[in-house]
């Protein structure tokens, strides 16, 4: 009879393989901080809209983003600019980001609010995000076309790029003709 005893290192290794891996959410800035960065010294008023099924489908077709857009995180400045907070899936987890648009629908800037993924966090770098500035719905806003990819962050780059395209389509279809509310 063989007297077998498990190797304690192998048991520990198997336990580590079976243990769930938890990514820690990295919160970069709040929506209020994004407003201050993207619209410095400007008052913003919350301007939620109802996203109809037709609008949702048209945004999906233009951007390929399947995650539904939530119309409750939209703000407007007195000069007609818009701040839209959206989220897309990175590789496995959600990325929350803000897009600022001027009154004519041109992108003023993008900020990453929350990034949970273990890889691809380079999309938060200013150098990458500044590629979007000045773009409108009329631009392709496509990875490897008018937006550069980052090696090791391809899915985050693609999904954020598609998400930004979705926000420009939202502006074009639903926001641009919205009258400015007078106080």
Residue 27's pLDDT band (cuts 50, 70, 90) = confident
pLDDT digits (tens, 9 = 90+) for 137-173: 999 999 999 999 999 999 999 999 999 999 999 999 9
Helix and strand counts by DSSP (H, E) for the chain: 5, 6
> What does residue 66 show for φ and ψ, rounded to 5 degrees?
-90, -30
pLDDT at 102 over 70: yes
- How is the chain split into domains, by residue range? 25-175
The answer to whether residue 136 scores a pLDDT higher than 90 is: yes
- Full-model pTM: 0.85
pLDDT at res. 77 = 96
User: pLDDT value at position 8?
Assistant: 56
The CA-atom distances, in angstroms, between 70 and each of 4, 35, 53, 66, 135 are 59, 18, 12, 12, 22
Q: Compute φ and ψ for 126, nearest 5 degrees.
A: -55, -35
């Amino acid at each position: 009879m063989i007297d077998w005893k498990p190797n304690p290192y192998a048991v520990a290794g198997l336990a580590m393989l079976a243990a769930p891996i938890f990514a820690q959410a990295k919160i970069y800035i709040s929506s209020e901080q994004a407003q201050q960065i993207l619209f410095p010294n400007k008052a913003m008023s919350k301007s939620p809209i109802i996203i109809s099924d037709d609008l949702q489908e048209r945004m999906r077709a233009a951007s390929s983003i399947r995650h539904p857009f939530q119309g409750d995180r939209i703000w407007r400045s007195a000069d007609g600019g818009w701040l839209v907070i959206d989220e897309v899936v990175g590789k496995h987890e959600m990325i929350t980001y803000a897009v600022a648009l001027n009154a004519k629908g041109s992108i003023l800037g993008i900020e990453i609010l929350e990034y949970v993924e273990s890889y691809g966090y380079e999309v938060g770098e200013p150098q990458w995000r500044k590629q979007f500035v000045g773009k409108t719905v009329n631009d392709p806003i496509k990875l490897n076309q008018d937006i550069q990819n980052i090696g090791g962050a391809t899915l985050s780059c693609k999904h954020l790029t598609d998400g930004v395209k979705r926000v420009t389509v939202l502006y074009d279809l639903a926001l641009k003709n919205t009258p400015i509310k007078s106080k």
